[in-house]
Amino acid sequence: MDNQNLNVLIVDDVPANIQLGGRILRELNYNMFFSKSGKIALEIVAANKIDLILLDINMPEMDGFEVFRRLKQSDKSSNIPVIFLTAQNDSETIVKAFEMGAVDYVSKPFNSAELLSRVKTHLELKTHRDHLEMLVAERTQELAMTQAVTLKSLATLAEYRDPETGGHIKRTQNYVKILAERLKTSGRYNGYFTDDFITLLHRSAPLHDIGKVGISDGILLKQGKLTDVEFEEMKKHTTYGHDALKSSEQEIGQSSFLRLACEVALSHHEKWDGSGYPYGLKGEDIPISGRIMAIADVYDALISKRVYKSPMPHKKAVDIIVEGRGSHFDPYMIDTFLEIEDDFRTIALEFADFDEERDLLINKD
């Protein structure tokens, strides 16, 4: 351990104690900071990386307990180990120090060997803890990347099988993200839209139609209107996708990142009034992820060119979606969609596949 990279702060209103403590600890080549008041100590911590604090309890204006309480209130300083310095060896004071979260205490006047030993021990513990936290952060990042790559690979598989273009996948996942972010600010959904949820929803959205890999070419690639029998088969892409993802989720565990992908695949064709498929779910029984995906999917289907249809202008697509408020779509989500409809148009323009689509999107009428 390189002691020159470790910063120790001594806080004591008695200069002689600061001088003595500093002289003892300099033997181990720590970088030393000193303060004679709690107020200045907090300013030093705010401006510097402090690895350990030796904190006197009995100080005027702001005692050590109050300084410690304020340290714990800040994310920057809440994990700094604190060793209390006290001339009061009564058990009540010591118990209070530990109950507040101090890692240790040292009695005054200082015993040099004791002070050196305790400071060295707690700095070594902090260094090991910091290293473990770094390893955990790296592992967490690695897992997040693995999740993202897995979802992307599955989405690419769906893209190869589906006659719809890759632009559809990029557009819908970005629609989903901006709509979720806007809904987050509304507060209506009781904190449902966390940053982690939105990130995972954005990554899962491309899998909404992965079940189409199980639909026969005769139906999936048909250019004309599907017969009733063919449409019933096409509907099964929701359960095919859900079941395939669910089997993988069960191998990984119920809290796996595939849970949201399962929801989206199964429920994005459900309708608010219960007339959707595959299960005819109604209202708030439809998962939030499915309700969001439904808006994104329908909007994109309307403004996109397909072998069996021409693209539709943005305004007309918005009008059709608004007509579905309270029947096809969650009414509150539609109100929120209207607040950001221009953002949907911008995303559609950025990832448009055909000039015909671009021309209609540029013309706001």
Confidence of residue 137 (pLDDT cuts 50, 70, 90): confident
The CA distance from 358 to 338, in Å, is: 21
- pTM of the predicted protein model: 0.63
In terms of Cα–Cα distance, which of 337, 358, 340 is closest to 349? 358
Is 3-134 assigned to CATH 2.30.38.10?
no
- DSSP H helical ranges for the chain: 15-25, 38-47, 64-73, 91-100, 112-161, 166-186, 195-204, 217-220, 228-235, 237-252, 258-267, 288-303, 314-323, 331-339, 341-350, 355-362
Cis peptide bond upstream of 331, omega within 30: no
pLDDT at 2 over 60: no
Give how far the C-alpha of residue 105 lies from the chain's centroid of Cα atoms, to the nearest Å: 38
CATH topology of domain 162-362: Hypothetical protein af1432 (1.10.3210)
Tallying the residues shown for the chain, one arrives at 365
Cis peptide bond upstream of 109, omega within 30: yes
pLDDT value at position 124? 87
pLDDT tens digit sequence for 176-215: 999 999 999 987 887 889 998 999 899 889 889 889 888 8
Three-state DSSP class for residue 13: coil
Instruction: Output 305 or 140, whichever has higher pLDDT.
Output: 305
Task: Please report, in angstroms and rounded to a whole number, the separation of the first and last CA atoms in the chain.
Answer: 68
pLDDT at 365 over 90: no
The CA distance from 15 to 12, in Å, is: 7
The CA distance from 329 to 229, in Å, is: 26
Confidence of residue 30 (pLDDT cuts 50, 70, 90): confident
pLDDT at 312 over 90: yes
pLDDT tens digit sequence for 146-184: 666 676 667 766 666 665 556 888 899 999 999 999 999
pLDDT tens digit sequence for 67-118: 999 999 988 898 899 999 887 677 788 888 888 888 998 888 888 888 888 8
pLDDT value at position 281? 97
Q: Where are the domains of the chain?
A: 3-134, 162-362
Three-state DSSP class for residue 54: strand
Q: What is the dihedral of CA 221, 227, 228, 232, to 10 degrees?
A: -10
Most confident of 57-66, 254-263, 317-326, 346-355: 317-326
